[in-house]
Chains A and B, each alone.
Chain A
């Protein structure tokens, strides 16, 4: 089993729809979680951190389910500009050793159609 797994998609949804992706992780000791967005042929950029209590940033909601070991990203009222690949990132430990343990998922491709 991969340490971090994502459905590669593509998810093809109409503008205005709500879409959600999950990302599962295998290390139950994982401490911090992030969602990054990567546009085609560009570098990844932070979309949002994922907090234990869940967090929302405008149309985006991130949640963490420690019991089932997954994080989720919900996008409401999707826009054409949301078309991108979404990478989940899991950091399994705290401290300097965690520098080498950050794991990126392979990404979920999202395509929003007019």
Chain B
């Protein structure tokens, strides 16, 4: 089992460019999450999904869109990147957010110039 994988691992964008981050999990988990982590601020939830075909906004959704067309994949899109979106992005999945641990991907380090 690969667990949770993320692509790409690193990316540098110019302001205004767009990109998509891909998260894939092979554990058949229902719940998937996208977080961003900035120094001193902990993990902040961007968007999440409670199952295939569903998405919902988290704490900091502005500037991001997501899609969950297949259960194993959760995509995070930046339509027009801004320097404020420079961060480390983590994807996570779990079968039950109440009882079970979240499994995280290795992260994507994004820099927006």
Contacts and interface: CB of A to CB of B under 8 A. Distances in A.
* B is a partner of A: yes
Contacts of A95: 98
For the residues of A in contact with B, the DSSP-based class is mixed
B27 interface: no
B45 A102 contact: yes
Nearest to A49: B101
Given A96-B50, A107-B42, A102 B104 contact: no
B58 interface: yes
B41 interface: yes
A34 interface: yes
Chain A interface size band reads: 20 to 34
A55 interface: no
Interface stretch (A13-21, A38-46, A56-64, A68-76): A38-46
Contacts of A94: 98
A26 to B, nearest CB: 15
Nearest to B45: A100
Given A43-B104, A43-B106, A87 B43 contact: yes
Interface of B: 31, 35, 40-43, 45, 48, 50, 56, 58, 90, 97-99, 101-102, 104-107
3 nearest A-B pairs in the assembled complex, by CB-CB distance: A43-B104, A46-B101, A106-B42
